[in-house]
Structure 1
Amino acid sequence: MPNTTRSCLLSALLSAVAVCGGDAVARVFPFGPRHRAVNDLANQFVPFHAHLWDLLRGRADGGLLLDWRAGWGTSFLPDYGTYLSSPFAPLVALLPRADVEYAVYAVTVLKTAVAAAAMT
């Protein structure tokens, strides 16, 4: 394995361990009783990923162009572009809908790890 590949994997691993380790030490979700779901996380990221889960599973009211659960049926496409356009966002469909918060956490850690690898 070339040194560059090893360096990228090491930086990805270190960043993932740092994020998860920091949350474990602080005893916040999913490693403790305190919750990270304040402001944007609870009010935007988790609900938007839940709607994406519904879209990917064919259970959504509306589609990419219209979201009936948003205020008076608004366009979902701008929200998709702002919050869900990561190539990792569709991974939320791999977990049950009740566990969307865990999926959002996993996607966040994965994006951090890939960003660290890319910067290395």
Structure 2
Amino acid sequence: MTPRQICIVDALTAESMDFAVMRQFAMRLRGLFRGGSLKKLDEWIWDATSCSVYAIRRFAKTLRQDIDAVQNAVVGPWSNGQTEGQINRLKTLKRSMYGRASIELLRARMLPLHDSNLHRE
């Protein structure tokens, strides 16, 4: 974090106990996804369900509804970051062309050129 961000977080933590609790839970959860164990995940969910902040309790309840997927995310090496990045790229292109282009122009912008000599003199 930048020094300015650190000051903002410190001020929010000092001003709001709920913010401090939510930040603590968020940091623990981030640590779990970066190399945690299923035991630590169970501890996190148990702690979160008894938390004083309603949003954390609700989030823990939601995680429990699909616990198999959450456990796989904690122990598995896979990420869907590439897929999400491509979806974001496509949506950005669609928004930029909204109302101005046909499917042919969208295809031309999305697909790479096969003939590299097209733009040479």
TM-score, normalised with respect to structure 2: 0.27
Return the index of the structure with the highest Cα Rg. Answer: 2
Name whichever structure is richer in helix by fraction.
2
Structure scoring higher RCO (CA < 8 A, sep ≥ 6) equals 1
